[in-house]
Amino acid sequence: MRGSRDALGRPARGRRGPVWRDVLVAAVATAVAALLTSCAAAPGREAPPPQAPQATPPPPASQAAQAPSAAGSASPPAAAEEPSPARTARVGSTQRRTFAPTQITLNAHGDVARTSVTVVDTTATGELGLPQDPGVVGWWQSGALAGEAFGSVVLAGHIDSRTQGLGFFVRLLGVGVGDTVELSNGVLRAGYRVTATRNVDRAVLVTGTDTFSQRVPGRLVLITCAGPFNQTTRHYQDNLVVTAEPTGPATPLG
């Protein structure tokens, strides 16, 4: 059967039927399927499994002791040490207790007597001031403290009084070498042993002797009046000076 022709005698183009369209769609689907298949793994071979992360090798033993554990936290801080209990203070062998004396005790051949000590100092005229009461002794505050390693601890007192009678230091007239003296302040005590007694002209007591020296090893100096009494000046001519050395460092009473 002949087909129809157009005006130029060419075969007329007719519309493609459903059969051609189906063939074209099938061809395109086959090409797309082939392209997708080439992106997948080759048949008969499994896709390689995902690689596991490599483990980090442990550090050397010397570093492992210093570095904290990777899984754990840093070591807890060390517990605070308990404070040491308080210690009782003690005076070292090179330390000395010193004090201003408030009491003196004389032991002259077994005759023991004591009295109060008050503070005195040099007067405006350069003389050593003394307590008005002859029964009380004065401690020269510009001198050494009892118990000090150097200097003279100077105590002075009246031998008597025209209105009050004999003074405490009249007992120095009977003190001899070897007798003992004790100073205290109610808390501490310092003991001394008499080493010398002498009469000194009062005119040279300060300028001609070392009675008040503070450049000597620690010692005790007791001073009172002695010698002839001058009725005109109303003073004794001499001073009795008793020197004593410490028997040891100052210690607590009791």
pLDDT per residue as tens digits for the range 73-129: 455 555 556 665 555 555 555 578 999 999 999 999 999 999 999 999 998 888 889
Is 195 within the bounds of a domain? yes
Is 231 within the bounds of a domain? yes
Are 99 and 93 within 8 A, CB to CB? no
Longest dimension (CA), the chain: 192
Is 193 within the bounds of a domain? yes
- The mean predicted confidence, pLDDT, of the chain is 77
pLDDT at position 76, please? 55
pLDDT at position 235, please? 87
Total structural domains within the chain: 1
Name which of 8-22, 84-98, 141-155, 209-223 the model is least confident about.
8-22
pLDDT per residue as tens digits for the range 196-239: 999 999 999 988 999 999 999 999 999 999 999 988 888 899 99
Handedness of CA 127, 137, 155, 234 (dihedral sign): positive
Are 247 and 178 within 8 A, CB to CB? no
Instruction: Give the range of the structural domain holding residue 111, as residue numbers without chain letter.
Output: 103-252
Is 155 within the bounds of a domain? yes
Are 240 and 224 within 8 A, CB to CB? yes
Is 42 within the bounds of a domain? no
**Of residues 106 and 13, which shows the higher confidence score?**
106
Is 32 within the bounds of a domain? no
**Of residues 87 and 134, which shows the higher confidence score?**
134
Is 37 within the bounds of a domain? no
Are 224 and 202 within 8 A, CB to CB? no
- Can you give the CATH number for the domain in which 198 is found? 2.40.260.10
* CA dist 109 → 112, 128, 152, 198 (Å): 8, 29, 24, 18
Quote the percentage of the chain above a pLDDT of 70.
Answer: 63
pLDDT per residue as tens digits for the range 31-41: 334 433 333 33
**CA geometry: angle 27, 30, 35, nearest 5 deg:** 130
Rounded CA-CA distance 218/250 in Å is 12
Q: Looking at the predicted structure, is the pLDDT value of residue 23 above 70?
A: no
Q: Looking at the predicted structure, is the pLDDT value of residue 64 above 50?
A: no
**Of residues 24 and 101, which shows the higher confidence score?**
101
Is 33 within the bounds of a domain? no
Rounded CA-CA distance 151/119 in Å is 17
Are 181 and 220 within 8 A, CB to CB? yes
